[in-house]
Amino acid sequence: MKIHIDIDCFFVSAARIVEPQLEHKPVVIGGRSDTKIFSREAKNQTVNFENSGSFVPTFYKSYEKRDDDIESFMENGRLRGILTTASYEARAYGIKTAMSLREAKELCPELIIKAPNMSLYQELSHKLHNFLSLKIPLIEQASIDEFYGDLSGWVEDADVPEFIDQLRHEIKKELKLPVSIGAAQTRYIAKLATTYAKPFGCKTVYPWDFDAFINPVKVEKFTGIGKSMQKKLFSAHIYTLGELRQRKGTLESWGPYAKEIYKRVNAQSDAAIEIKQARKSIGISRTFDPIYNRAELIRRIHILARHLSYAIYKLNVIPTVFHLSIHYEMQKKSHINITKNELFREKKFDALCIELFHQADIHKRYHIIRLSISCSAFTKNVKRELSLINFNEEYALQKRDLFTQKLRQKYGLDIIKFASEL
């Protein structure tokens, strides 16, 4: 059987390890993006790759201590920021992920707000991964707070409920982290089972009770069915997984992806547990108060490009696909992709990001509230040959970048900047 392990309210659970007095209280983790990244003052900042891998975020950390009391979220007398995680006690008040802190505080005046602590989350995630590796032969990290395991040949199917129940209590005792665990014949159904095990519970779905479990589930609860697929299913009057299972012909007529979804829902398709997943992309994004001044926005693109360049060199990869997206006020968005089969260099990447920004900025009358840059299709993972035009010259210039990297590694990311950032 496959199992899916998910840490309950991970960020809140982590905060409670540090501050046990937060237990059983309405707590949220949130705040504003690290807009200090755009400050003209130098910061002792570096990139964190602890437990890094596919779907495990990279973040840039400062060695400065961050205050997380309520005053740190105030600006001009107003509570600012978005919450990322809410405890079950907070959810009882109607508080949801992505809600503004101001709205959450209005729903629950006693709400406790804590700032994110990414170093702590990475440390705990790493410890849990190591712990699970001692208990399960095959363990795959799917994100910072969820894992898959394969118990085939290790635990008899009949013994799985007892095994996962004991496992969750061992995790709670050793790491003080509450987890929920789902078990089923495939990873996709195991993940769905975890949803119904929360909080701090277990659920095993055997073949003989599969129909009773799967049929009433709403289609939007199944991983892989996004908003566009939901819309398509609703238009065909398909609202539950049971109804989806009865419409094989309809799903297959929609193409390969819909056909694969049908097979996953029916437990006819599965994917192997991968012990180590290669990172397939890396990116950086920041949200900030609305800005109209394009010169200031371009300065911020320079800064994001510099930080992302540092991370790319640290990963020792060569990306070939580049993506930039812009979020405007009034919920307008724009994005652009480009493919470049060339040796990676910081200066060229910086210029490319500025070029992509100009092309993507199609709503020039609107203020911008978020910028995102990401890179993917690393040459390690795709069969692409790099251009040999000016290769030797580019390689020589890349060595200069690597020297710059050493200085940033020693003295911080801001020790060397582009003049355009100042």
pLDDT at 361: 97
Residue 77 in any domain: the answer is yes
Max Cα-Cα span within the chain? 66
The verdict on 213 and 99 lying in the same domain is no
CA 312 to chain centre: 17
The verdict on 307 and 244 lying in the same domain is no
The verdict on 183 and 305 lying in the same domain is no
DSSP states along 364-402: TTS-EEEEEEEEE--TTTS--PPP-TTHHHHHHHHHHHH
The verdict on 78 and 176 lying in the same domain is no
For residue 271, what are the CA distances in angstroms to 140, 157, 185?
11, 19, 11
The verdict on 251 and 193 lying in the same domain is yes
The verdict on 197 and 259 lying in the same domain is yes
Q: What pTM did the predictor assign?
A: 0.76
Q: Which residue do the tokens 């996953």 mark?
A: 264
Summarize the confidence of residues 320-346 as an average pLDDT: 92
The CATH number linked to 256 is 3.30.70.270
Residue 273 in any domain: the answer is no
Summarize the confidence of residues 94-118 as an average pLDDT: 91
Residue 404 in any domain: the answer is yes
Task: Kindly give the interhelix angle for 227-235 and 256-265, rounded to the nearest 10 degrees.
Answer: 90
Comparison of pLDDT for 162 and 82, the residue scoring more: 162
The verdict on 19 and 33 lying in the same domain is yes
71 pLDDT above the threshold of 90: no
Point out the least confidently predicted range of 172-181, 249-258, 279-288. Answer: 279-288
Beta-carbon count within 10 A of 410 CB: 9
d(CA 55, CA 350): 25
Count helices and strands (H / E) in the chain. Answer: 14, 16
Give the domain range for residue 63: 10-117
163 pLDDT above the threshold of 60: yes
The verdict on 210 and 316 lying in the same domain is no
Burial degree of 167 (CB within 10 A; 0-12, 13-18, 19+): buried
Which of 97, 117, 137 is the last residue before a domain boundary? 117
Residue 1 in any domain: the answer is no
d(CA 338, CA 356): 8
Rg (CA), the chain: 23
DSSP alpha helices (H): ranges in 43-100? 88-91
Which of 92, 117, 142 is the last residue before a domain boundary? 117
Highest mean pLDDT: which range of 7-11, 120-124, 311-315: 7-11
Residue 4 in any domain: the answer is no
d(CA 255, CA 240): 20
Contact 60, 34 (CB under 8 A): yes
Count: domains in the chain:
3
Which two structure tokens, joined as six digits, stand for 396? 């020589």
Residue 271 in any domain: the answer is no
The CATH number linked to 16 is 3.40.1170.60
55 pLDDT above the threshold of 50: no
The verdict on 296 and 329 lying in the same domain is yes
The verdict on 128 and 254 lying in the same domain is yes
pLDDT at 299: 94
Write the pLDDT tens digit of every residue in 167-186: 999 999 999 999 999 999 99
- With cut-offs at 50, 70 and 90, classify the pLDDT of residue 302: very high
* 306 sits in which H/E element: helix 294-315
Residue 275 in any domain: the answer is no
The verdict on 293 and 383 lying in the same domain is yes
What rounded mean pLDDT belongs to the chain?
86
Write the pLDDT tens digit of every residue in 291-301: 999 999 999 99
Residue 361 in any domain: the answer is yes
Which of 117, 134, 160 is the last residue before a domain boundary? 117
The verdict on 88 and 150 lying in the same domain is no
Residue 303: strand, helix, or coil: helix
The CATH number linked to 371 is 3.30.1490.100
Comparison of pLDDT for 36 and 339, the residue scoring more: 339
d(CA 144, CA 56): 5
Comparison of pLDDT for 366 and 381, the residue scoring more: 366
